Amino acid sequence: MCSGRGKNKPRTWQGEEMTYLEYKYKVEFGKKEYDEIDAYCKKQNIAWSASPWDLDSLEFLKQYDIPFIKIPSAMLTNDDLLTASIETGKKIIFSVGMSTDEEIKQAVDTLRISKEVYNNKHDIGLLHCNSTYPAPIDQLNLSGIETLKNKYPDFTIGYSGHEMTLGTTVASVLLGA
């Protein structure tokens, strides 16, 4: 869902000029598509989830029985979204690509406090990642996994890879992700 900033900013998509908001409605899934994903995954016994980018999107996702909420790294500083995600009672997973150490610490503190307030018993997952698509191998900094494990031992640490090879994902597991 769109936050309002830049919604009327012009852009070109597939050779057509439109506002960001018009683009958003062309490319984002709606209820019909999410219902289809949900039905298919239930039939195949597949767990699925999605990333809310704002409170409206989170509210939309609450109608589905998803096992976790995945907070995108760009929303790591949205304390309202972090707190509301904890309120769902679901496991929270968030990426830290594009984030500073201070932003990560603030998000961790917000999630810890909210977890206690809302008595959420689920673990919180924190994912090391490089937010470039595709991510250059020489910029992955997989040692960041160990750094996060040392700083946040009470969180489950994982890896969100956007690179084109699988070897780095295997390496991330060897590093403890």
pLDDT in tens, 20-36: 777 777 788 899 999 99
Residue 157 has a pLDDT of 94
In a domain, 79, yes or no: yes
Same domain, 60 and 121: yes
101 vs 51: CA distance, rounded Å: 22
Specify the residue for token string 């070109």: 12
Same domain, 78 and 108: yes
Highest mean pLDDT out of 12-16, 132-136, 152-156: 152-156
Check whether residue 40 and residue 105 sit in a common domain: no
Domain around 146: 49-174
Contact criterion met (CB below 8 Å) for 161 and 144: no
Q: Do 43 and 87 belong to one domain? A: no
* Rounded Cα gap, residues 79 and 96, in angstroms: 14
pLDDT at position 6 is 59
Q: Are 97 and 133 in a shared domain?
A: yes
84 and 148 assigned to the same domain: yes
On whether both 38 and 60 belong to a single domain, the answer is no
Residues 116 and 95 in one domain: yes
Residue 158 inside a domain? The answer is yes
| Residue 140 exposed, middle or buried by CB count within 10 Å (0-12, 13-18, 19+) | buried
Mean pLDDT across the stretch 127-139? 80
**Pairwise CA distance, residues 7 & 117, whole Å:** 35
Same domain, 160 and 129: yes
Residue 2 covered by a domain: no
Q: What confidence tier does 88 reach under pLDDT thresholds 50, 70, 90?
A: very high
Q: How many domains does the chain have?
A: 2
Claim to verify: residue 85 and residue 56 sit in the same structural domain = yes
The percent of residues in the chain predicted with pLDDT above 90, rounded, is 47
CA dihedral 158→36→38→160, nearest 10 degrees, is 0
The whole-angstrom distance between residue 11's C-alpha and the CA centroid of its chain comes to: 25
Q: What pTM value is reported for the model?
A: 0.80
